[in-house]
Amino acid sequence: MKLSDFDFHLPEDRIATRPAVPRSAARLLVAQRDRLTDAHVFDLPDWLRPGDRLVLNDTRVIPARLSGQRHRVSAQGQTSARIEVTLLEPRADGTWAALIKPLKKLKPGETVEFPAGLSAELQDVADGQGHLRFNLTGDDFDAALAQAGAMPLPPYIAAKRPADAQDKTDYQTVFARAPGAVAAPTASLHFDDDLLARLREQGVTFTYVTLHVGAGTFLPVKVDDVTTHKMHAEWGQVSADAASEIAATKAAGGRVIPVGTTALRLIETAARGGEIAAWEGDTDIFIYPGFQFQVTDALMTNFHLPKSTLLMLVSALMGQDRIAEIYDHAVRNGYRFFSYGDASLLLP
How far apart are alpha carbons 223 and 258 in whole angstroms? 28
Domain assignment present for 272: yes
Q: How confident is the model at residue 83 (pLDDT cuts 50, 70, 90)?
A: very high
Q: Compute CA distances 198 → 25, 125, 154, 204, whole Å.
A: 15, 50, 31, 9
Q: Compute CA distances 227 → 256, 284, 285, 334, whole Å.
A: 27, 13, 12, 32
What pLDDT does residue 318 have?
98
pLDDT of residue 41 exceeding 80, the answer is yes
Q: How confident is the model at residue 39 (pLDDT cuts 50, 70, 90)?
A: very high
Q: What is the CATH number of the domain that holds 81?
A: 2.40.10.240
The predicted-structure confidence for 273-307, as pLDDT tens digits, reads as follows: 999 999 999 999 999 999 999 999 999 999 999 99
Domain assignment present for 162: no
- Average pLDDT of the chain to the nearest whole number: 95
Mean per-residue pLDDT, 248-277? 97
Mean per-residue pLDDT, 111-127? 96
Residue 99 CB contacts under 8 Å (≥ 6 apart), including other chains:
85, 86, 88, 128, 129, 130, 215
pLDDT of residue 5 exceeding 80, the answer is yes
Q: Are residues 267 and 311 in the same domain?
A: yes
How far apart are alpha carbons 180 and 273 in whole angstroms? 27
How far apart are alpha carbons 171 and 215 in whole angstroms? 14
What pLDDT does residue 319 have?
97
Mean per-residue pLDDT, 126-135? 94
Q: Are residues 54 and 91 in the same domain?
A: no
What pLDDT does residue 172 have?
98
- 81-92: b (≥16 Cβ within 10 Å) or e: eebebbbbbeee
Percent of the chain past pLDDT 70, that is, above it, reads: 100
Helix (H) or strand (E) holding 309: helix 309-318
* Residue after which a domain boundary falls, among 119, 148, 177: 148
The predicted-structure confidence for 143-172, as pLDDT tens digits, reads as follows: 999 999 999 999 899 999 999 999 999 999
pLDDT of residue 216 exceeding 80, the answer is no
Domain assignment present for 153: no
pLDDT of residue 220 exceeding 90, the answer is no
Q: Are residues 53 and 73 in the same domain?
A: no
Domain interval for residue 80: 65-148
Checking 99-106 for CB contacts under 8 A at 24+ apart, the result is: 99/128, 99/129, 99/130, 99/215, 100/129, 100/130, 100/132, 103/128, 103/130, 105/70, 105/81, 106/70, 106/81, 106/130
How far apart are alpha carbons 45 and 10 in whole angstroms? 30
Compute the CA torsion angle 170, 39, 348, 212 (nearest 10 deg). Answer: 0
Q: How confident is the model at residue 98 (pLDDT cuts 50, 70, 90)?
A: very high
